[in-house]
């Protein structure tokens, strides 16, 4: 036995041994875009998994062998349920015998801009009655540095069990990118930081049985900050290139040609592209967790705030460009028939969380436009004060529209047909020219 392993408690060594043998029962709380792929990875590793979600509709679908996440085939869920490897539930009592728990619940921002950690707090409290010696709890929900130690640990230790000796607590940031086939839950490196060294080792053993690469860090705060750095890096660079687009439009320079030329440099440059705004749960929101936290230590995160300001204003910029485009053909935006192409936040998925398309549609309607949308992945979508269904006949709607506005560049779109049919197109993604469809009636961001 190594010197480091002798430093661990009997409970820690027992858990590590069980996980190294790919045995044990794991609970996953929150069965969304993060939790459900994690369930599948853990089942494939050999664990029995209790999948818990507050939504009885999701649980009912899973019990019937039906997946509601594109990245998880229904047949995989059906096989896991039928084999007794996956038990979907809404009842925390079912977690009473588990060896480990992974928490993947939402952490949205309130309208006031501060983090809403009510889901994490609620889960922590709900775990108290089922917490037992020899159990590891791993938080995956993105949050600010200090959350695991300051909010979750006191709740768990209210049972009298000590973290690091009787029970174990760690943070491991989720890194799911919905729709990707190359980087998945299994082969994306898994960062893990525990409250104590023992916590890190137990959590690493649990995930190491299912993940190809585990990256240990020294604390929960480092792991929490790692996730925020990843998404702040993207948000700031997207903000930079979005501002480049604003500057190039003022100067009469082709933004996309500039980016292509800069990307020819084999070192010292990373390609980012402008767009109609940020979407998804991570990039538009996560940096603001860090900005909010830093205010408590009297520090102003200027890069984050500036990038957020630029990115947040991009939907309004798109609307102004559409208005200008309509003016070139003598058409007012009020009363104009507009067709938005794509409302998902990224290509080839159905996820509309924080999608800039929702802001664009709302702003267009505020200006009096008649707006419809088409998205092969999203049948129905709601904004703050409106709801719409995807048009059933794309070609017919394109002919009837004064202008089509491309927001999400799904691969499934027939770009040649759209270019041939729509009388006017505003392309916020450079999707048409990148496919060789450079037409006079198509204007790019």
Residue 268 lies in a domain: no
Decide the pairing of beta strands 442-444 and 425-427: parallel
Question: Which residue among 176, 203, 218 closes a domain?
Answer: 218
Q: Do 332 and 212 belong together in one domain?
A: no
* Phi and psi torsions of 406, nearest 5°: -85, 120
Run means of pLDDT, 10 residues per run, the chain, 445 residues: 59 95 95 95 96 97 95 96 97 97 92 87 97 97 95 97 97 89 93 98 97 97 96 95 97 96 96 94 84 90 93 97 97 97 95 94 97 97 93 97 98 98 98 95 96
Kindly tell me the number of DSSP H helices and DSSP E strands found in the chain. 17, 15
Q: How far apart are CA 175 and CA 329, in angstroms?
A: 45
Look-up: residue for tokens 């299994």?
186
Nearest to 224 by CA among 169, 170, 288, 168: 170
Q: b vs e for 105-130, b when ≥16 Cβ sit within 10 Å of the residue's Cβ?
A: bebebeeeeebebebbeebbebbeeb
Q: Do 25 and 166 belong together in one domain?
A: yes
Q: How far apart are CA 133 and CA 137, in angstroms?
A: 11
127 beta partners: none
Q: What is the pLDDT of residues 326-344, one digit of tens each?
A: 999 999 999 999 999 999 9
Q: Do 74 and 214 belong together in one domain?
A: yes
Predicted local confidence at residue 4, as pLDDT: 42
Question: Which residue among 218, 239, 262 closes a domain?
Answer: 218
List, as own/partner pairs, every contact residues 301-306 make where C-beta atoms lie below 8 angstroms and the sequence separation is at least 24, other chains included: 303/232, 303/236, 304/232, 304/235, 304/236, 306/239
Q: Do 171 and 320 belong together in one domain?
A: no
Q: Do 211 and 343 belong together in one domain?
A: no
Q: Do 194 and 325 belong together in one domain?
A: no
Using only C-alpha atoms, what is the Rg of the chain? 24
- Three-state SS for 141? coil
- Global pTM reads 0.90
Q: Do 203 and 331 belong together in one domain?
A: no
Instruction: Note whether 57 and 63 are within 8 A (CB).
Output: no
Q: How far apart are CA 48 and CA 14, in angstroms?
A: 18
Q: How far apart are CA 297 and CA 308, in angstroms?
A: 20
Q: Do 61 and 176 belong together in one domain?
A: yes
Give DSSP secondary structure letters for 252-311.
Answer: T--HHHHHHHHTT-SSS-------S---SSSTTTHHHHHHHHHHTTT---HHHHHHHHHH
Residue 301 lies in a domain: no
Look-up: residue for tokens 């979600």?
53
Look-up: residue for tokens 């792991």?
223
Q: What is the pLDDT of residues 374-428, one digit of tens each?
A: 999 999 999 988 999 999 999 999 999 999 999 999 999 999 999 999 999 999 9
Which are the contacts of 414, defined by CB distance < 8 A and separation ≥ 6?
none
Give DSSP secondary structure letters for 57-93.
Answer: HHHHHHHTT---STTS-HHHHHHHHHTTSEEEES-GG
Catalytic positions, written as ranges:
282
Q: Do 80 and 188 belong together in one domain?
A: yes
Residue 304 lies in a domain: no
136 beta partners: 100, 168
How many folded domains does the chain comprise?
2
Residue 294 lies in a domain: no
Residue 263 lies in a domain: no
Instruction: Note whether 270 and 240 are within 8 A (CB).
Output: no
Residue 167 lies in a domain: yes
443 C-beta neighbours (distance < 10 Å), count: 18
Question: Which residue among 218, 244, 268 closes a domain?
Answer: 218
Which are the contacts of 445, defined by CB distance < 8 A and separation ≥ 6?
245, 255, 274, 275, 276, 318, 321, 426, 427, 428, 429, 430
166: left (phi over 0), alpha (psi -120 to 50) or beta: alpha
Residue 334 lies in a domain: yes
Residue 437 lies in a domain: yes
Q: How far apart are CA 62 and CA 65, in angstroms?
A: 5
Instruction: Note whether 20 and 205 are within 8 A (CB).
Output: yes
Predicted local confidence at residue 2, as pLDDT: 37
Predicted local confidence at residue 336, as pLDDT: 97
CATH number of the CATH domain containing 320: 3.40.50.720
Q: Do 213 and 99 belong together in one domain?
A: yes
User: Residue 327: which domain range?
Assistant: 313-444
Instruction: Note whether 157 and 148 are within 8 A (CB).
Output: no
């Amino acid at each position: 036995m190594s010197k480091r392993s002798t430093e661990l408690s009997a409970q820690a060594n027992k858990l590590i041994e069980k996980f190294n043998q790919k045995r044990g029962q794991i609970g996953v709380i929150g069965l969304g875009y993060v939790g459900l792929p994690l369930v599948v990875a853990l089942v494939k590793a050999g664990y029995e998994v209790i999948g818990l979600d507050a939504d009885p509709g999701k649980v009912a679908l899973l019990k019937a062998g039906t997946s509601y996440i594109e990245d998880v085939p229904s047949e995989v869920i059906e096989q896991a349920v039928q084999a007794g490897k996956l038990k979907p539930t809404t009842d925390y009592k079912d977690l009473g015998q588990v060896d480990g728990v992974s928490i993947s619940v939402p952490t949205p921002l309130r309208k006031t801009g501060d983090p809403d950690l009510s889901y994490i707090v609620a889960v922590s409290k709900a775990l108290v009655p089922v917490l037992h010696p020899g159990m590891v709890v791993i938080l995956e929900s993105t949050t600010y540095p200090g959350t695991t130690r300051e909010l979750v640990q006191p709740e768990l230790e209210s049972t009298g069990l000590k973290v690091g000796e009787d029970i174990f607590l760690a943070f491991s940031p989720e890194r799911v990118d919905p729709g990707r086939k190359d980087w998945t839950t299994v082969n994306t490196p898994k960062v893990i930081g525990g409250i104590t060294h023992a916590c890190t080792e137990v959590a690493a053993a649990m995930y190491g049985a299912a993940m190809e690469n585990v990256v240990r860090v020294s604390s929960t705060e480092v792991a929490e900050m790692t996730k925020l750095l990843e998404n702040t890096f993207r948000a700031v660079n997207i903000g930079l290139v979005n501002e480049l687009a604003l500057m190039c439009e003022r100067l009469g320079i082709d933004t996309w040609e500039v980016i292509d030329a800069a990307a020819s440099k084999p070192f010292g440059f990373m390609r980012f592209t402008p767009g109609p705004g940020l979407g998804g749960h991570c990039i538009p929101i996560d940096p603001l967790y860090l900005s909010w936290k830093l205010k408590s230590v009297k520090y102003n995160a200027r890069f984050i705030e500036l990038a957020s300001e630029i990115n947040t204003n991009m939907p309004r910029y798109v609307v102004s460009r559409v208005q200008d485009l309509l003016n070139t053909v003598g058409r007012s935006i009020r009363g104009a028939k507009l067709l938005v192409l794509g409302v998902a936040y990224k290509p080839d998925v159905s996820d509309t969380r924080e999608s800039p398309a929702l802001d664009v549609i709302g702003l267009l309607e505020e200006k009096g436009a008649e707006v419809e949308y088409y998205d092969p992945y999203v049948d129905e979508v709601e904004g703050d004060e409106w709801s719409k269904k995807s048009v059933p006949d794309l070609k017919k709607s394109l002919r009837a529209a004064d202008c089509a506005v491309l927001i999400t560049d799904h691969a499934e779109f027939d770009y040649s047909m759209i270019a041939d049919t729509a009388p006017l197109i505003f392309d916020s993604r450079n999707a048409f020219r990148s496919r060789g469809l450079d037409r006079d009636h198509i204007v790019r961001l």
